[in-house]
Amino acid sequence: MTLMQGFPPAEADRATLANWRTQPYSAWAFHHVREVVPSAEIANAPGDVWALDQGAPLLSDAAIEDILAPTLTDALVVLHKGRVVHELYRNGMTAEDPHILMSVSKSMLGLLAGILANKGLLDLEAGIIDYIPELAPTAYAGATVRQALDMRVGVEFSEDYTATSGPIIAYRKAANWNVVEPGEVAPDLRSFQMMLTASDGPHGGRFHYVSPVTDLLAWVIERAAGRRYADLMSEHLWQPMGAEKAGYITVDRIGGPRAAGGMCVIARDLARVGQLICQGGARADGRQVIPAAWLEDIATAGDREAWTSGDFGERFSDFDMVYRSKWYVHPGEAPLIHGMGIHGQYVFADPARDLVVAWMSCEAEPTSDRAFGLRYRLIQELRAAL
């Protein structure tokens, strides 16, 4: 199949809103998202780009290919000590193409929240309804910003990516990610939040993975800071970081950002985020972008009991893991910090070894233990090569 070729492309070769997250169409659509879904730009500062030097490879091309062969990898960038030691692109993607991050977008929100809190623009202990009083009749009543950051809000919602009906489909339609049927009136992301009135447990309890909670936090951030989410991400993270290219984020019918999954950036800029984590939130020239104390909190303050009793505890029972401020953490003396999303999106930071892996894919399955295992294998082999 030759996707999106011809003037116009043949109907069977077109990536559309109806098929863009399925194979084979996702191989094109995941790095052309703004041609399918409306978006808002996250501007960079072209005159202030954080340059990345080249370094010596840690593994042979053959070893990398052996790991990647079973995957649908679109891009891979590996940094060691801030230098690019491996970089490749597939499926027509180039170094210039922003690729969707899926749930790694949540991790980007977690960094922005820490920056804004440090600047006094966001109160983490405030209640959600302190910022959004109209949500008082919903299950969010009594939940705090901190609990939402840690996915410990007791709202009833099933994150079932295989569902063909129900709340998750209404959610995708609200986000502008699914086709709205003729005669159907779809909500936007804000009005969708008003529908979440049922509770499934106490706030502050177990880890409960609910993507709409992250979109809610983007709304809270906009209310708190009085500006659009995309502009806040640009001003407080993307430009100060020295991003090489502008990113963008998908938006709903009224401009609300899909902070839970819609951020799109180039692979090198995702790697720069990982390098910031390795460097305590500072650029190579010493400019502080993310508060060091925020990253220390991410690395050390996750709740093990909340994790083990939560939604992913059994699935990842072989790993010592916690969750804090939208980041997964392997805690200990040398914490490993990573963000991961469906269809194979991943960023990994190992501050003790100064190692970063940014991996973008278009895996056919939304969640795949096989793909997770291959990512983990690559990291283990890279670490062993140091």
Residues assigned a catalytic role: 103
> Cα(232)–Cα(247) distance, rounded to whole angstroms?
13
Is the bond leading into 8 cis (omega within 30 degrees of zero)? Answer: yes
Helix (H, G, I), strand (E, B) or coil at 257: strand
Tokens 């302190």, residue?
130
Smallest CA-to-CA distance from 149 within 210, 197, 198, 193 is with 210
DSSP letters for 274-331: HHHHHTTTB-TTS-B-S-HHHHHHHHH---HHHHHTSTTTTTTTTS--EEETTEEEE-
Contact 165, 184 (CB under 8 A): no
Burial of 365 (0-12, 13-18, 19+ CB in 10 A): middle
Q: What φ, ψ does residue 342 adopt, rounded to 5°?
A: -65, 160
The first and second tokens of residue 71, run together, are 């995957």
Burial of 142 (0-12, 13-18, 19+ CB in 10 A): middle
The first and second tokens of residue 3, run together, are 């996707």
Smallest CA-to-CA distance from 249 within 76, 106, 92 is with 106
The first and second tokens of residue 116, run together, are 């804004």
> Cα(285)–Cα(346) distance, rounded to whole angstroms?
26
Contact 95, 268 (CB under 8 A): yes
Q: What φ, ψ does residue 249 adopt, rounded to 5°?
A: -140, 140
Contact 41, 231 (CB under 8 A): no
Length of the chain: 386
